[in-house]
Amino acid sequence: MPIYLDNQPLDADVKTVGQAIAAARDSSAAGGRLIVEVRIDGEVLLNESLEAAHDQQVGDRELQLTTAQPGELARSALMEVREALAATADDQQRAAELLQADQNAPAMQHVRQALGVWQQTQQSVLHSAQLLGIRLDDITVRDQPVAQLVAALTDHLMLVRQQLLANDWLGLADTLSYEMNDAVATWTAVIDALCEKIGE
């Protein structure tokens, strides 16, 4: 039952995958790092498959655990979101143009994609701050605390949903063109500020 933590053998008396993960977390080799990947015989376990494997016997299978510093993990997630935001600006503009041309069905694909990215953006910022113990009130972007910008984004997203439910297509086109377009630049700056804070 070979167990490796960051490519180094882990000496632990364990029988199940869950026990091996717990031993790796407790290991001084982890040094405050987070386990970010679990492989059994080279196959990456994700979400449900990882849960299902928790009580499985390790046996003769090779278990590889990879860790990362919390700051590295948060920065990587934030940079992925930053890239997605750039594409969201295009999605929002295209959706607004289609709505103004009374082409609601094709516009909805762009709206759905944009909303998915906004949800991911909000979650990434909140989770990164929580993971690293960063108070969003302590970071200011465009003369506003980030916590206030989180609340403002929530309000904008609620407005978009209300307009969708009310079939207010012209109102939605305006919101996407103006408020949500401005939000892309603001939240790109939020991500940059948070990454800078992580690097301190």
Which residue carries 């969708």 as its tokens?
164
pLDDT at 144: 93
Nearest 10 degrees: Cα torsion 129, 123, 125, 118: -170
* pTM attached to this predicted model: 0.74
**Whether residue 145 is found in the same domain as residue 179:** yes
pLDDT at 155 over 60: yes
Structural contact between residues 157 and 118, judged by C-beta atoms closer than 8 angstroms? yes
What contacts 24+ positions apart, CB below 8 Å, involve 71-76? 71/132, 71/198, 71/199, 73/34, 73/36, 73/131, 74/127, 74/128, 74/131, 74/132, 74/198, 75/195, 75/198, 75/199
| Cα-only R_g, the chain | 22
**Whether residue 129 is found in the same domain as residue 153:** yes
Beta bridge partners of 34: 68
Q: What is the pLDDT of residues 72-118, one digit of tens each?
A: 889 999 999 999 999 999 999 999 999 999 999 999 999 999 999 99
Which residue carries 């167990």 as its tokens?
3
E-strand ranges in 41-180 read: 43-44, 63-68, 140-141, 144-145
pLDDT at 29: 52
Mean pLDDT across the stretch 8-18?
83
Total count of residues recorded for the chain: 200
Q: Which helix (H) or strand (E) holds 23?
A: helix 17-26
CATH for 12: 3.10.20
**Whether residue 60 is found in the same domain as residue 80:** no
Q: At which of 21, 38, 68 does a domain end?
A: 68
> Among the ranges 33-37, 45-49, 171-175, which has the highest mean pLDDT value?
171-175
Give the pLDDT band (50/70/90) at residue 200: low
Q: Measure the CA–CA gap between 83 and 60, rounded to whole angstroms.
A: 42
Count of domains forming the chain: 2
- Could you list the residue range(s) of the whole structural domain that residue 181 is in? 71-198
Which region, left, alpha or beta, applies to residue 32 given φ > 0 means left and ψ of -120 to 50 means alpha?
Answer: left
pLDDT at 161 over 80: yes
pLDDT at 177: 93
**Whether residue 187 is found in the same domain as residue 105:** yes
pLDDT at 30: 52
